[in-house]
Amino acid sequence: MFAFLIRRIIQAALVMLVVASIAFLMFRFLGDPISNLLPEDATVQDRAEMREKMGLNDPVLVQYGRFIVDAAQGDFGQSYRNNRPVSDLLAERFPATAELVLVAASLALALGIPLGIYTALNPRGWLSQGLQVVSLLGISVPTFVTGILLILVFSVTLGWLPSFGRGTVVDLGWWTTGFLTTSGLKALILPAIMLALFQMTLIMRLVRAEMLEVLRADYIKFAKARGIPNRMLHFKYALKNTLIPVMTIFGLQLGGLIAFAIITETVFQWPGMGFLFIQAVNFTDVPVMAAYLVLVSFIFVVINTLVDLLYNVADPRLRAERTPARGV
Amino acid sequence: MKPRNLLLTSALALACAATVQAETFRLGTNGDLYGLDPHSMTDSFTVSFLNHVYEALVRYDADLKIEPALATSWEQIDETTVRYTLREGIKFHDGQDFSAEDVVASVKRASHEDSPIRGNIAGLVDAKMVDEMTVDLMLDGPNPLLNNFLTNVLIFDSGWLEEHDALDPIDAQKGEEGYTTSNANGTGPFRFESRTPDAQTVLTVNENWWDEPQHNLTRIELNPINSDATRVAAMLSGELDMIFPSPLQDAKRIESTDGMHVLEAPGLRAIMMGINMSDKSNNPNQDGNPLQKVEVRQALVHAISYDLLRDKIMRGKSRNLGGLVAPQVPGFDEGVDAIPAYDPEKAKQMLADAGYPEGFSFNMNCPNDRYVNDAAICQALAAMFARVGVKADLTAETKAIHFERARANETDMFMLGWATLPMLDGYSVLSAMLHTPGGQMGTWNPGGYSNAEVDRLTQAVATELDAEKRHEMMVEAFRIADEEVAWLPLHAQPLSWAARDAVKIPQTADDKPRLWLARIE
């Protein structure tokens, strides 16, 4: 277990180093940050001085090295655009993204799993058929279209929900939350639905497919023959075995939700990390982009580690297989 | 007056009083402020919004004429010194008195060598306090545009700066956050209340403002909404009182909605194409540089259908420009503004006479995220040039890359928009875009246009204090540039705002909403 964690930490460090280096290579093609920092009619000399001051004249490798050394000490530098430390900016934006993702993920699980079970148990029912069609739409329509449609219906036409922003948030000092105010909760609904829709349909279809597979397995047939009631059969024996692959996929998707809430945040002007990143790209704000990408890769590694640990808990066979495998 | 009427009148008066007490102006914009320190960045929207909190010695009125603000009068003492008399009895939002000390500290802060806006008061040598309410500004030479520059140099309270260790401008490299980035204390019509970056900035009315308020607002909420579609939706759903800018393509949708309208007018920003005039074309298939020849450039003007660009690409909202400045900018002249007739046959003939009967090829570069319909304009231009046998290889890229390429003269024709702000004067174009490049001059003349007479006139305009003489010299320089087609002017970019019908606000050509002139009725 301990060795496993150590291995993972080393892996995480490697992944982050690689991401940072790819990021730095990419940034060279994003254009010149100076053009956003000085007035349009700044002189050539002003520009040169600014470049020198910001260390942009150094070779990419030197800039990369400087970034790594500082980042290792927790210093991600200063945002060009906001004139503030990048770590402050990210910390300030993280709660917005975290709450949005939390609600979206809960929504996806809370709806996706029961719907998946229902469609698996009643494969020929008209409701199941209908859900299947709708879920196809949910998977194939691009999320920004869903978002705009939601705004059009619920904000512009019906006027029920706000079309942008996070509403009133309560500042707890280390965290800002929209859960405690009516406007905050109302503001969460549309973006959460937009972000959850794809995940929900994915989970529903996955649960359905897995469940159908498991229901055909021999042990279910035997259990049925033994006269175990359907209810117990479905929810105790079948569902448990269904959920292992669902867990894997969901773990991967959760990282994706955090990292790629970007589109939802852009459509709804949600002041989260993804939105910060998009603005940084538009402004060629290199420190923010680099820190964001490194942070996201870190989140991915953490989530995948957690999922692997959960496997060990959920599936006894994995625990048993590990020891001999290492001896070989 | 009959009792009934009296009742009605008092009820009305009461109702009015009630509305006066709580008029919140909810503004939606396409981007957030960069921060709260107007000396730390050159973003014109940020500075113009902070102008509600901070003020300058002088300001532009709704017609873009200079009027007194924190200074009541000024006089030229000698060629290089201007004396400003300050307004008495003004208090900062935290209660401190406004005095000459504040002006000196603020001007020095803005012109500090680490200040990104020091270019906005180029030529300032020193600022000296004469007495409590008088300040002398010392310049390196006569400067007819000093007041224009000063509209953008907002004044801080020196005591407040000192207390928070902010007398020097924020140094981005120090890696620490400046106090002034997240706090504000000015003299303006509104005081800063709160800010959540990318979400909302709130100002409340300053009851003790020195000026007679034209507005009836008590609170301003700035809501940045970067996505065009969402911003329009928020306007349509009644969550905002005004959006700026309002996307051109949604104008009809907004107009057709009850209770709201679009405000449109051609603005100050002139859109134009810069031309490579060096000996070599950047296009690998082209020998020499045909664009270097005046006759070729003149032929290209005849190949452009200005009306088509305006009507089809700009949906009839832009104003065709024959010269390099919009009508509101000093230096504008109707003669220079005249546009040569659209005549592709004539263009072909002129090209043949110039030695290119088969046409030629060149590279054209455009931004695709900077100006209104920028990439579409370039596509249309390329098609128009193709009709006279000239092949433009078009590349449309994001602004950061586009301007880097343009500046390095890595293309043969590039798009640039120039609003002349904060100067609001033709000298801005003459010095940056028409003067031969070198030192402070020609900073945006990467194509290398050079004309000795234009250079001479530009230098004379820089120091000429007589307004009429100055104007004549500017017009003469623009006329030469027009004849030689130093740049290809296209149009004045339209401003587009949208507001509820209850909102009354003057639409100023500099594209800066002045909410202290706005009313909600």
Tell me the per-residue pLDDT of B400-446, one tens digit each, with 9 for 90 and over: 788 888 988 999 999 999 988 888 999 999 999 999 998 778 888 99
Q: Is the pLDDT of residue B175 over 60?
A: no
Mutation site for B-interface testing, chosen from A27, A30, A37, A43 by largest number of B Cβ within 10 Å:
A43
Give B404's contacts in chain A (Cβ within 8 Å).
31-32, 35
- Residues of chain A in contact with residue B120, where contact means CB-CB under 8 angstroms, are 39
Which CATH code is given to the segment(s) A86-319? 1.10.3720.10
Q: Exposed, middle or buried, B374 (CB in 10 Å: 0-12/13-18/19+)?
A: buried
Please identify which residue in the block is written with the tokens 């030695």. B355
- Specify the pLDDT at position B1: 40
A319: pLDDT strictly greater than 80: no
Q: What is the pLDDT of residue A248?
A: 81
DSSP letters for B317-345: -SEE-SSSS-TTSTT--HHHH--PPP-HH
Q: Which residues of A touch B367 (CB under 8 A)?
A: none
Residues of chain A with C-beta less than 8 angstroms from the C-beta of B178: 83
**Residue range A211-223: mean pLDDT, rounded:** 85
Which residues lie across from B135 on neighbouring strands?
B84, B129
Q: What distance in Å separates the CA atoms of residue B377 and residue A266, rounded to the nearest whole number?
A: 27
- A300, A12 Cβ separation under 8 angstroms: no
Name the packing angle between helices A182-215 and A143-150 (round to 10°).
130
Residue B171 is predicted with a pLDDT of: 65
Measured in angstroms, the CA of B427 and the nearest CA of chain A are apart by 12
Is the confidence at residue B3, as pLDDT, over 70?
no
pLDDT at A305 (0 to 100):
81
Cβ pair A276:B418 closer than 8 A: no
Helix residue ranges, H only, B361-451: 374-387, 399-407, 427-429
Can you tell me the mean pLDDT for B461-469? Answer: 91
| Beta strand pairing call for B503-504 and B124-131 | unpaired
List the single residue in A with minimal CA-CA distance to B401: A31
* Contact criterion met (CB < 8 Å) for A83 and B173: no
Q: Which of A211-215, A304-308, B29-33, B420-424 is the least confident region? A: A304-308
Query: In this predicted structure, what is the pLDDT of residue A60?
Result: 78
CA angle B211, B214, B219 (to 5 degrees): 95
The whole-number pLDDT of residue A222 equals 85
Confidence of residue A318 (pLDDT cuts 50, 70, 90): low
Give me the pLDDT at residue A48, please. 81
d(CA B407, CA B367): 13
* Better-scored residue on pLDDT, A151 or A64: A151
Confidence check: pLDDT of B149 > 60: yes
Does position B55 have pLDDT exceeding 50, yes or no?
Answer: yes
* % pLDDT > 70, chain A: 93
Average pLDDT over residues B331-358: 94
Compute the distance between CA of residue B387 and CA of residue B348 in angstroms, rounded to an integer: 9
Testing the interface with A: which of B226, B403, B404 to mutate, by most A Cβ within 10 A? Answer: B226
Residue B103: closest CA among B148, B156, B66, B160? B156
Q: From the CA of B172, how many Å to the nearest CA of chain A?
A: 6
What separation in angstroms does the CA of B185 have from each of A84, B97, B116, B513?
19, 12, 21, 21
Nearest residue on chain B to A284, judged by CA atoms? B400
Q: Does B194 touch chain A (CB under 8 A)?
A: no
A281 pLDDT above the threshold of 60: yes
Structure letter (DSSP) for residue B21: H
Mean pLDDT of the A255-282 span: 87
pLDDT of residue A309: 79
Chain-chain contact of B34 with A81 (C-beta, under 8 angstroms): yes
Q: What pLDDT, on a 0 to 100 scale, did the predictor assign at position B434?
A: 95
Question: What tokens does B72 get?
Answer: 């009541």
CA B166 to centroid of chain Cα atoms: 28
Give the pLDDT score at A180. Answer: 87
pLDDT at B108: 93
Residues 396-415 of B with CB under 8 A from A: 398-404, 407
Mean pLDDT of chain A: 83
Share of chain B above pLDDT 90, in %: 70
Binning pLDDT at 50, 70 and 90, where does residue A327 land? very low
- Partners of B38 on chain A (C-beta within 8 Å) are none
Cβ <8 Å between A78 and B173: yes
The answer on pLDDT for B13 being more than 80 is: no
Cβ–Cβ below 8 Å for A30 and B400: yes
What's residue A3's pLDDT? 80
A31, B401: Cβ pair inside 8 Å? yes
**CA dihedral sign of residues B202, B204, B210, B214:** positive
A22 or B338, higher pLDDT:
B338
Q: What is the pTM of this model?
A: 0.84
Averaged pLDDT score across all residues of chain B:
90
Supply the DSSP symbol for B516.
G
Task: Give me the pLDDT at residue A326, please.
Answer: 44
pLDDT of B257-284, one tens digit each?
A: 999 999 988 899 999 999 999 999 999 9
What pLDDT score was predicted for residue B261?
A: 94
Residue of A80, A159, A266 with shortest CB distance to B172: A80
**Mean pLDDT of the region B137-150:** 91
Higher pLDDT, residue A273 or A320:
A273
Q: What confidence score (pLDDT) does residue B44 get?
A: 82
Is A15:A7 a contact under the CB 8 Å cutoff? Answer: no
User: HEC profile for chain A?
Assistant: CHHHHHHHHHHHHHHHHHHHHHHHHHHCCCCCCHHHHCCCCCCHHHHHHHHHHCCCCCCHHHHHHHHHHHHHCCCCCECCCCCCEHHHHHHHHHHHHHHHHHHHHHHHHHHHHHHHHHHHHCCCCHHHHHHHHHHHHHHHCCHHHHHHHHHHHHHHHCCCCCCCCCCCCEECCCCEECCCCHHHHHHHHHHHHHHHHHHHHHHHHHHHHHHHHHHCCHHHHHHHHCCCCHHHHHHHHHHHHHHHHHHHHHHHHHHHHHHCCHHHHHHCCCCCHHHHHHHHHHHCCHHHHHHHHHHHHHHHHHHHHHHHHHHHHHCHHHHHHHHHHHHC
Residue B16 is predicted with a pLDDT of: 44
Which residues from chain B sit within 8 angstroms of residue A86, using beta carbons?
Answer: none
For residue B18, pLDDT over 60 is answered with: no
Whole-angstrom Cα distance, residue A306 to residue B71? 65
What does the pLDDT look like over B163-174, one tens digit per residue?
Answer: 998 888 876 555
What local confidence, expressed as pLDDT, does residue B176 receive?
60
Domain locations in chain A? 86-319
**How high is the pLDDT of residue B8?**
45
In angstroms, the first-to-last Cα distance of chain B is: 26
Q: pLDDT grade, residue B59 (50/70/90)?
A: very high
User: Average pLDDT for residues A73-96, to the nearest whole number?
Assistant: 84
Of A258 and B328, which is predicted with more confidence? B328
> CA-to-CA distance for B314 and B373, rounded, in angstroms?
7
Predicted pLDDT of residue B6: 44
Residue B226 to residue A279, Cβ atoms within 8 A: yes
B116 touches chain A (CB under 8 A): yes
- Of B40-54, B79-93, B286-300, the poorest mean pLDDT is in B40-54
Mean pLDDT along residues A121-137 = 85
User: Please, are residues B447 and B281 in contact by the beta-carbon 8 Å criterion?
Assistant: no
Residues on chain B touching A175 (C-beta within 8 angstroms): none
Q: What is the pLDDT of residue B10?
A: 47
From the list A41, A84, A148, which residue is nearest B444 (CB)?
Answer: A41
Query: Do A268 and B197 count as a contact with CB atoms less than 8 A apart?
Result: no
Token readout for B440 is 């402070």
State chain A's maximal CA–CA distance in angstroms: 87
